[in-house]
Structure 1
Amino acid sequence: MNYFNTLLLITDHAQGRVLDFGGGIGTHTLGTAMYPQVEQVVYCDINPINRDLVKYRAEQLGLSEKIVFCQELPDKETFDTIIFISFDVLEHLPDPSQQLLKFHQALKDEGKIIMNWCFFKSYNQEHPFHLDDPDLVEVFYRTLQSQFLEIFHPHQITARCYRKLV
């Protein structure tokens, strides 16, 4: 149910040129590329195996013309929507608030960002590589609150949608 509701959130808000940052196996990229209100999806992932898999899946689904592949966030490009829903990305970055600022810069003024995160190593340290330093997490939340405004949605999921504060 959680995955289905995440796709509903994307359906509700994704449009125009979309960046899927840390796209993993590409499920959100492929689903988003199928929406008529989406012109192009830029799939960004550092893992070459993931990129090859998503390219293959895109070819099989006839979506190759609508998806662009990259390894790093493209410089000076702007997006109508940014999707950052893959777990185990933001919480591994040394300074997640800096990534938020990069997203803010890349997002068009009327754009929306859909994202989630989990700054928690778990009670028994099941996620030892997750960032959970209280000071860095507080800076992240302060940055989020100063740059974005959450958009209400009725879906029962951990992902959230924000619009850019201008």
Structure 2
Amino acid sequence: MPQLRSSRDVDVSSFLEDGLAVKQHLSRYLELSLEQVEQRLPSSTDDLADLHPGAFRPEDATTFYEDTVGTGHLLELAAWHLSSADYIADTLRLQGMTARGQVLDFGGGIGTHALSAAALPQVDHVWFVDLNPHNQAFVEQRAAALGLSDKLSVHRDLESTGEVRFDTVVCLDVLEHLPDPSAQLQAFHQRMASDATALLNWYFFKGHDGEYPFHFDDPQLVDQFFTTLQGRFLEVFHQLLITARLYRPIA
């Protein structure tokens, strides 16, 4: 059974101070002034929503996230991480309580969790996976700026990480965007060490007024997800009052 470290031993002050210098990193990557970054962050969620095609078919998801969203996702994610700093900080605390060895950050976005994991002494390497090529390049640049390049590699998909067995899997705010989240759980299970932990959350809900158009919420999809989750993983209790949960694989 995984042994959790105390949340009191996890330092998230660097993130709470400035999101790991995310505005400065955006300024450099997007070739914008800090003032321009500040101006664009508040409208970034609406700007990304404007790219939504309307009827979002499962077969369109990969192309949408890999090609359509462009750099808009960087700004939207940065705005969300900064405006929801307390929540993100708690997920970082939970990651710090559990992460070790070989860490997979699947759908890692702007790299907040991957970079924080790479800075942990008990982590050997972080495998950052994200479809969006701008997310990949941005996180690679951020890792270099923070002196973490030796402990982090960037990948398009899980297959390109080779055959490494992961001691920790982090997949936050991603599963609801996948057309087959149950299959993703199966893929995680196959690549996890027997004593590994997975840090997961999800939100299979499009909203009362369609405010989450990028989420899948088909009842059959959700039922299959929970059937797979309960058959492949056992939940591990943690004391933080957040939606993110911990699991260990069942053989």
Specify the TM-score bucket, using the shorter chain as the normaliser. over 0.9
Task: Read off the aligned partner of 1:140 and give its amino acid letter.
Answer: F
Contact in 1 for aligned 2:140/2:153 (Cα 8 Å): no
CA offset at residue 119 of structure 1? Answer: 0.2
Matches of 2:147 and 2:177 in 1, distance apart?
A: 33
Q: Say if 2:227 is the partner of 1:142.
A: yes
Q: Please give the alpha-carbon distance, in whole angstroms, between the structure 2 residues aligned to 1:50 and 1:92.
A: 16
Partner SS for 1:162: strand
- 1:96 aligned residue: 181
Map 1:17-166 onto structure 2 (within 5 A): 17-73=102-158, 74-85=161-172, 87=173, 89-166=174-251
CA shift, 1:20, in A, is: 0.3
Unaligned runs of 5+ in 2: 1-85
Residues in 1 aligned to 2:190 and 2:180: alpha-carbon distance in whole angstroms:
16
Q: Which moved more, 1:74-83 or 1:25-34?
A: 74-83
CA-CA distance at 1:163 after TM superposition: 0.6
Structure 1 residue 75, shift from structure 2 partner: 4.6
Aligned partners of 2:130, 2:242: CA distance in 1, in Å?
Answer: 23
Letter in 1 for 2:167: D
- TM superposition outliers: structure 1 runs of 4+ over 2 Å: 74-77
- What secondary structure does 1:20 align onto? strand
TM-score (norm 1): 0.95
- Aligned-pair CA distance for 1:157: 1.2
Give the residue type in structure 2 aligned to 1:81.
T
Percent of paired sites with the same residue: 49
| Aligned position for 2:27 | none
**How does the TM-score come out when normalised to structure 2?**
0.64
Match of 2:101 in 1: 16
Larger radius of gyration: 2
State the partner residue of 2:26: none
Task: Choose between structure 1 and 2 for higher RCO, CA contacts under 8 A separated by at least 6 residues.
Answer: 1
Q: Distance in 2 between matches of 1:81 and 1:162?
A: 10
User: Is contact 2:206-2:214 (8 Å) kept?
Assistant: yes
Aligned equivalents of 1:104, 1:58: Cα separation in 2: 27
Residue pair 1:148, 1:163 contacting (<8 A) in 2 also = yes
Q: Which amino acid aligns with 2:240?
A: H
Counting strand residues as a fraction of each chain, which structure ranks higher? 1
**CA-CA distance at 1:56 after TM superposition:** 1.0
1:57 is displaced (CA, Å) by 0.9
| Aligned-partner Cα distance in 2 for 1:5–1:38 | 19
CA distance in 2, matches of 1:75, 1:94: 23
Alpha-carbon deviation of 1:104?
0.3
Bigger helix share: 2
1:2 counterpart residue number: 87
* Residues in 2 aligned to 1:119 and 1:164: alpha-carbon distance in whole angstroms: 22
Post-superposition CA distance 1:64-104 (Å, at most 9, x none): 0000111010353310001001x2x3112221100000000
Gaps of 5+ in 1: none
